[in-house]
Amino acid sequence: MGKPDYELINPASGTRSALPVRSGTIGPDCLDIAGITRDQGVFTFDPAFSVTASCESKITYIDGDAGVLLYRGYPVEQLAASSSFMEVAFLLINGELPGAAELTAFRTSITRHSMINESLLRFTNGFHHNAHPMSMVSAVVASMAAFYYDSMDIYSPRHREIFSHRIIAKLPTIAAAAHKHALGQPFIYPRNDLDYCSNMLSMFFAVPCEEYQVDPVAAKALDLLFILHADHEQNASTTTVRLAGSTGTNPYAAISAGVSALWGPAHGGANEAVLNMLEEIGKAENIPKYLALVKDKGSHSKLMGFGHRVYKNFDPRAKIIREACHRLLAKLGQQDDPLFELALRLEEIALKDEYFVSRKLYPNVDFYSGLIYSALKIPRSMFTVMFAIARTVGWVAHWLEMIGDPAMRIARPRQLYTGPTQRDYVAVAQRR
């Protein structure tokens, strides 16, 4: 038997509304509020969607109090230890881990879609040399609708599959093209003999005049970061992709909207901002002064890489990345990296500070990820692009889940209007 409904009673009229309880497989129940407006003539008010489930989803589960993150039921710690980004991509998109033949076919398809149309390359090269790569990537992704319009029927499962493979395959190529453009170096074409992350490193760091050897340590570190960034249920950029996609717009436009939303420093832009912050702090003696600044609401400063809307105990991804950062820096002989030491000290001091303790603010996924990218010689302006490459998998999975749902409707929130009531137009000559 289902759980009993909650009931909402209008204290003035006595009108009653049933609020049916909807239970997921795990996690808190949700109250179905669809009948409130019909019965009571009121809306619900939840700015920033702090307590509202905007959809049903089978992809990712987070328990923010327990620090649990599951992709299709699998703990992220297990996937980080034993899986690969391509396997995780298959899992998120298709719902199950692939068999060996399925994984090979998926990898091959992604590999074979990694080249981009030459005109798209020329478009990339039209940007100013110092354009931020996130602005280039969001524009180039949006422009893909003009290049790959042969397979954009969102109601065709085959078209949706082609789109999915194309966007996952081409994002690293687009990112590398933006990077090479900023450097003024020739574009390096993708190599089909390399795995996803090795190919990315090759496109980023190879030059045509000499042979480039991919460092397997670097490729593995990148693969781990991509696994950890691949999905995170209804975060701001994924919600943006769903909202844009719910209008029936083409999927490239929806993903481009997601890239733009990710760029903000409160979201994916935090990894770049953490390194800027560490440099601004400079040395351990300056930490107390910086913490005083971020506690001052008037300063509009935040401790970047700290805090999360959902995690109120610890971010399991941050735990894994912190350890990975230790291992990688040791392997690369950079264990004395002064910014890493400063980050460790900052974390230690903040975690003992009453302000952060009482607000349950802990390091999030991006507190340490930028230090890994730096160790791999990826420029700071590319950090959020790296995040976008990984999160594209999650965006695609959510877009597919939404489009495949026969009950999909355009997303359209309501508002609490606080502007002027109706008034009459006054001609300009009569206005004060």
Is the distance from CB of 23 to CB of 4 less than 8 angstroms? Answer: no
Select from 187-195, 211-219, 266-274, 375-383 the region that touches ligand ACO (CB under 6 A): 266-274
Q: In the range 102-131, which residues lie near ligand ACO by CB under 6 A?
A: none
According to DSSP, residue 30 is labeled: E
Least distance to ligand ACO, CB of residue 160, Å: 26
Among 128, 283, 309, 377, binds ligand ACO (CB under 6 A): 309
What is d(CA 232, CA 62) in angstroms, rounded to the nearest whole number?
8
Q: For ligand ACO, what does the binding mask look like between residues 242 and 261, x meaning CB under 6 A? A: --------------------
Could you give the angle at the alpha carbon of 132 between the alpha carbons of 128 and 138, nearest 5°?
A: 100
What's the token pair of residue 126? 């039209």
Residue sitting closest to ligand ACO (CB): 307
Least distance to ligand ACO, CB of residue 225, Å: 12
Is the distance from CB of 380 to CB of 370 less than 8 angstroms? Answer: yes
Residue 150 designated active-site: no
Among 59, 80, 294, 388, binds ligand ACO (CB under 6 A): 294
According to DSSP, residue 33 is labeled: -
Residue 308 interacting with ligand ACO (CB under 6 A): yes
Identity (one letter) of the amino acid at 326?
H
Among 133, 245, 251, 305, binds ligand ACO (CB under 6 A): 305
What is d(CA 130, CA 76) in angstroms, rounded to the nearest whole number?
36
Among 76, 92, 206, 303, binds ligand ACO (CB under 6 A): 303
How many chain residues are in contact with ligand ACO, going by CB under 6 A? Answer: 18
Residue 377 interacting with ligand ACO (CB under 6 A): no
Among 365, 375, 382, 400, binds ligand ACO (CB under 6 A): 365
Least distance to ligand ACO, CB of residue 270, Å: 4
**H/E run at residue 182:** helix 157-183
What is d(CA 87, CA 168) in angstroms, rounded to the nearest whole number?
13
Q: Active-site residue among 181, 308, 315, 398? A: 308
Select from 92-100, 105-113, 242-250, 267-275 the region that touches ligand ACO (CB under 6 A): 267-275
Query: Three-state secondary structure along 287-300?
Result: HHHHHHHHHCHHHC
Is the distance from CB of 245 to CB of 341 less than 8 angstroms? Answer: no
Identity (one letter) of the amino acid at 140?
V
- φ, ψ of residue 417 to 5 degrees: the values are -75, 130
| 291, 294, 296, 300 alpha-carbon torsion, rounded to 10° | 160
Residue 306 interacting with ligand ACO (CB under 6 A): yes
Count other C-beta atoms under 10 Å from residue 12's C-beta. 6
Residue 366 interacting with ligand ACO (CB under 6 A): yes
Q: Which is nearer to ligand ACO, 195 or 272 (CB)?
A: 272
What is d(CA 321, CA 344) in angstroms, rounded to the nearest whole number?
13
Least distance to ligand ACO, CB of residue 154, Å: 27
Among 134, 241, 328, 361, binds ligand ACO (CB under 6 A): 361
Residue 308 designated active-site: yes
Q: Active-site residue among 113, 229, 366, 398? A: 366
Among 270, 318, 396, 402, binds ligand ACO (CB under 6 A): 270
Burial profile 99-115: b = 16 or more Cβ within 10 angstroms, e = fewer: eeeeeeebbebbbebbe
Q: Which is nearer to ligand ACO, 22 or 309 (CB)?
A: 309
Select from 22-30, 82-90, 137-145, 297-305 the region that touches ligand ACO (CB under 6 A): 297-305
What is d(CA 197, CA 220) in angstroms, rounded to the nearest whole number?
8
Residue 220 interacting with ligand ACO (CB under 6 A): no
- φ, ψ of residue 258 to 5 degrees: the values are -65, -40
What is the set of active-site residues? 308, 366
Question: Which spans of this chain sit near ligand ACO (rule: CB under 6 A)?
Answer: 266-268, 270, 294, 302-309, 359, 361, 364-366
